[in-house]
Amino acid sequence: MSSATVAGHEVSTDHWIGGERVAGSERFEVITPIDGSVIAQVAAGGAHEADLAVAAAHAAAPGWAALGPVGRATLLTRLADLIDQNVERLAAVECADMAMLLESLRLRVIHRAAANFRNYAELAASYEERDWRSKGTWNRVQRMPAGPAAVITPWNAPFMLSTWKVAPALAAGCPVVLKPAEWSPLSCSLLADLTAQAGFPPGVFNVLQGTGEQAGAALVAHPMLRRISFTGSPETAREIGVAAARNLVPFTGELGGKGPLIVFEDADLDAAAAKAAGQYDDAGQVCLAGTRLLVQESVRDEFLERFHAAVDRHVLGDPRAPETTVSPLIHPEHLARVDGFVKRAVAAGDRLVRGGQPAGGLLYEPTLFEPRANDSEIVQREVFGPVLTFQTFADEAEAIALSNSTPYGLSGIVYTSSMGRADRVGRAVRAGVVWVNTFLVRDLTAPFGGIGISGLGREGGNYALDFYSDLKTLQILEGSVR
Ligand code: NAD
């Protein structure tokens, strides 16, 4: 058994398969973005470990299904309680692993993960099966757990994002094999420990560690899987989609974003500018971020003055320090990717308004471009870093046209004081979620997902339970049974 001491806490660096730690033969290095040092050598799985993990999930499936939604809800609620009780440990490890702000992890993000389990414990226990009479028969829709599910997650907010998928899959009765991202694999190892402490039967929850190319690819190609749920980039989604198609396995993808943040002249400009500056939080490594600032021409100067003042108040630094608001990027390779976007934009003639440079270690300056044209790469492609673009529009029609001018469609943010406009623009923006005068709040029963290259399928509420269930119609001739 191998483990690492991360932020003062012991974390297993092995796989978790069938209720046991499995070392495997190969290892990969994990660094902390805080200072770039190596903090763990984690098991690098391949086809053999993927096979063991799916076999363990498959073996656990009948027992987990037989427990029924109420039996499963008891364990999910216990797990939620354990997550809440372990917030300090989970937050400290995740902060070391991916450099999300410690305060944000302690106060919001980890509790949100617990809420996902609590929410699905309740939803699954009250998930309705439709009953009706027609054509001389009694009809009932039965929902059956689909079987072993693979959950593949990205490196940003890895603990909470994994629970968006793990919670509904387990609640619906599907054992899970979770493959966390190789740049931040540690907090999900702690989730395995908590499932054991909560009393989950062996094989119901498994963690397969390793790279996407080896562990991820072997997992999604496995013929015994019945569902695949992925969060990550559209490029990887295409590869996983091909593997899923080969085995005819349903697949959902929560993918990248390039959301507009639209500010109308009737908006509260202080609030809009503060929220726009807030898009640099977590170093812009947020799929839902409104990275394209679209501002009505008539309030351009008033908005920019407030925006720059708000960005000036950002403090770049160590994510553990309470005063820090912008943390380091996840990895040197990612910093080089972000910097590559910035350099190409400058070379292409997009006007660099502020920032544009690394700021020591893995920090990067909050950066703003005024693009030379809407087809600039910096407008059209997701950077996933602290880089925003600024464009103006004349009227509602132009705001909508610009909003819908990229291949993405994950989220949109609108600032206006007009109800009519909120409704019209909210409807017209092509995205899975549009927030008006707010950002990132989401009722856990609401659908969540993307349009275009931002996603396939929906998570959240009963939408995710539907995904992890096989539906059957039971039809009985009236009067034929007693
Ligand atoms: P990524 O696509 O590179 O990797 C995501 C996961 O897929 C990782 O676990 C990786 O190991 C695995 N993977 C890679 N290749 C694979 C393969 N061939 N087969 C199976 N698995 C494979 O994404 P990333 O860089 O980790 O994350 C950033 C991306 O995720 C951004 O595009 C971001 O917008 C997106 N994201 C989307 C949401 C959402 O809910 N829509 C949330 C967070 C992040």
Could you give the CA distance from residue 122 to residue 69 in angstroms, rounded to a whole number?
A: 9
Could you give the CA distance from residue 443 to residue 304 in angstroms, rounded to a whole number?
A: 32
CA angle 281, 29, 330 (to 5 degrees): 10
3 state DSSP class of 257: coil
Task: Please indicate, yes or no, whether residues 177 and 113 belong to a single structural domain of this protein.
Answer: yes
Residue 480 forms part of a structural domain: no
Distances (CA, A) of 402 to 62, 219, 304, 427: 50, 39, 19, 15
- Please determine, for residue 133, whether its predicted confidence score (pLDDT) is greater than 90: yes
Please tell me the distance between residue 154's alpha carbon and the centre of ligand 1 in angstroms.
4
Residue 185 forms part of a structural domain: yes
What is the predicted pLDDT for the residue at 321? 98
Residues with CB under 6 A from ligand 1: 152-156, 161, 179, 181-182, 211-213, 216-217, 220, 231-233, 236, 239-240, 254-257, 287, 382, 384, 410, 450, 455
Task: Please indicate, yes or no, whether residues 300 and 418 belong to a single structural domain of this protein.
Answer: yes
What is the predicted pLDDT for the residue at 25? 86
Q: For residue 358, give the DSSP letter.
A: B
In whole angstroms, what separates CA 216 from the centre of its chain?
Answer: 17
Please tell me the distance between residue 54's alpha carbon and the centre of ligand 1 in angstroms.
20
Task: Please indicate, yes or no, whether residues 386 and 355 belong to a single structural domain of this protein.
Answer: yes
CATH of the domain at 337: 3.40.309.10
Task: Please indicate, yes or no, whether residues 171 and 196 belong to a single structural domain of this protein.
Answer: yes
Sign of the Cα torsion 215, 221, 224, 227 reads positive
What is the predicted pLDDT for the residue at 424? 98
Task: Please indicate, yes or no, whether residues 329 and 423 belong to a single structural domain of this protein.
Answer: yes
Q: Which atom of ligand 1 is nearest to the CA of 217?
A: 19
**Across residues 430-438, what is the average pLDDT?**
98
- pLDDT 10s digits, 371-383: 999 999 999 999 9
Please tell me the distance between residue 237's alpha carbon and the centre of ligand 1 in angstroms.
8
- Please determine, for residue 327, whether its predicted confidence score (pLDDT) is greater than 90: yes
User: Nearest Cα to 11, choosing from 158, 170, 119?
Assistant: 158
Residue 444 forms part of a structural domain: no
Helix (H) or strand (E) holding 11: strand 9-12
User: Nearest Cα to 174, choosing from 32, 54, 57, 56?
Assistant: 57
- pLDDT 10s digits, 285-303: 999 999 999 999 999 999 9
Could you give the CA distance from residue 189 to residue 12 in angstroms, rounded to a whole number?
A: 6
* Catalytic status, residue 254: yes
**Across residues 67-84, what is the average pLDDT?**
97
What is the predicted pLDDT for the residue at 7? 97
Task: Please indicate, yes or no, whether residues 398 and 270 belong to a single structural domain of this protein.
Answer: yes
Task: Please indicate, yes or no, whether residues 220 and 263 belong to a single structural domain of this protein.
Answer: no
Q: What is the DSSP string of 426-467?
A: HHHS-SSEEEES--S---TTS-B--SGGGEES-BSHHHHHHH
Which of the four pLDDT bands, split at 50, 70 and 90, describes residue 442?
Answer: confident
- Please determine, for residue 392, whether its predicted confidence score (pLDDT) is greater than 90: yes
Task: Please indicate, yes or no, whether residues 401 and 357 belong to a single structural domain of this protein.
Answer: yes
* Catalytic status, residue 239: no
Could you give the CA distance from residue 46 to residue 42 in angstroms, rounded to a whole number?
A: 13
Residue identifier of the C-alpha nearest atom 14 of ligand 1: 212
What is the predicted pLDDT for the residue at 330? 98
Residue identifier of the C-alpha nearest atom 33 of ligand 1: 256
What is the predicted pLDDT for the residue at 245? 97
State the average pLDDT for the chain: 97
Which of the four pLDDT bands, split at 50, 70 and 90, describes residue 142?
Answer: very high
**Across residues 95-117, what is the average pLDDT?**
97
- pLDDT 10s digits, 344-365: 999 999 999 999 999 999 999 9
Residue 239 forms part of a structural domain: yes
What is the predicted pLDDT for the residue at 390? 98
Residue 178 forms part of a structural domain: yes
CATH of the domain at 78: 3.40.605.10
- pLDDT 10s digits, 225-274: 999 999 999 999 999 999 999 999 999 999 999 999 999 999 999 999 99
CA angle 359, 39, 334 (to 5 degrees): 40
Residue 403 forms part of a structural domain: yes
The number of folded domains in the chain is: 2
What is the predicted pLDDT for the residue at 128? 78
Task: Please indicate, yes or no, whether residues 241 and 341 belong to a single structural domain of this protein.
Answer: no
Task: Please indicate, yes or no, whether residues 251 and 264 belong to a single structural domain of this protein.
Answer: no
Percent of residues in the chain assigned helix, strand, coil, to nearest 5: 45, 25, 35
Residue 445 forms part of a structural domain: no
**Cβ–Cβ < 8 Å for 40, 32:** no
What is the predicted pLDDT for the residue at 18? 98
Residue identifier of the C-alpha nearest atom 22 of ligand 1: 212
- pLDDT 10s digits, 178-202: 999 999 999 999 999 999 999 999 9
Q: Which atom of ligand 1 is nearest to the CA of 211?
A: 11
Domain that holds residue 50: 3-255+450-474
Residue identifier of the C-alpha nearest atom 36 of ligand 1: 232
Q: For residue 280, give the DSSP letter.
A: G
Choice among 95, 174, 188, 287 that is catalytic: 287
Which of the four pLDDT bands, split at 50, 70 and 90, describes residue 129?
Answer: confident
Question: What counts of helices (H) and strands (E) characterise the chain?
Answer: 16, 22
Task: Please indicate, yes or no, whether residues 247 and 271 belong to a single structural domain of this protein.
Answer: no
**Across residues 107-118, what is the average pLDDT?**
97
**Across residues 414-420, what is the average pLDDT?**
98
- Please determine, for residue 127, whether its predicted confidence score (pLDDT) is greater than 90: no
What is the predicted pLDDT for the residue at 126? 87
Residue 479 forms part of a structural domain: no
Mutate to test the pocket of ligand 1, among 211, 231, 463 (most ligand atoms within 8 A of CB): 231
Task: Please indicate, yes or no, whether residues 227 and 287 belong to a single structural domain of this protein.
Answer: no
Which of the four pLDDT bands, split at 50, 70 and 90, describes residue 465?
Answer: very high
Q: Take residue 114 and report the two structure tokens written for it.
A: 């617990």
